[in-house]
Homo-oligomer: A and B are copies of this chain.
Amino acid sequence: MQINRFAEVANVPATTIRYYEAIGLLPEPRRLDNGYRDYAAEDIDRLRLIAGARSLGLSLDDIGEILALRDRREAPCRVVLGLLKEKAEEISRRIAELRQLEAELQELHALGLTFPTDDVEGKACVCHLLTQIDKRDEKE
């Protein structure tokens, strides 16, 4: 299987596959006589694991650890479970932050609409509000 076919079955760009190989996540594959990479069916699983973990937001570093465990014939399940939990918590924190930010943006936008749109220097302008954000946070 050449790289493009491999890319297709795992749904990962070929350039990304070469990148994963370069950083050591994927082993160097056999080569055809012409030097083209030649993947075996067994390779798909590893790449799918990487892609799956990435789509859940795990870092390539985390994934590297998981694969290293597996390569040493140790089951990485416990590590994976921990990482999934951590990630879920991180994301729930991130969601809270973004909600906050979303509210702030909407408020600022609404407030900005009530101001003139041609005030370069004065204080009656969204742009001026931008300079006040930190100060306002401190007062709260």
Residues of A in contact with B, size category: 35 or more
Among A18-26, A28-36, A50-58, the stretch in contact with B: A50-58
When all copies of this chain in the complex are counted, the total is 2
Residues 68-107 of A contacting B (Cβ, < 8 Å): 70, 73-78, 80-81, 84-85, 87-88, 91-92, 94-95, 98-99, 101-102, 104-106
* A117 interfacial by beta-carbon distance below 8 Å: yes
Could you tell me if B98 and A91 are in contact, using CB atoms closer than 8 angstroms? yes
* A133 interfacial by beta-carbon distance below 8 Å: yes
With both chains docked as a complex, state the minimum distance between the C-beta of A110 and any C-beta of chain B, in angstroms. Answer: 10
Could you tell me if A77 and B45 are in contact, using CB atoms closer than 8 angstroms? no
Could you tell me if B92 and A56 are in contact, using CB atoms closer than 8 angstroms? no
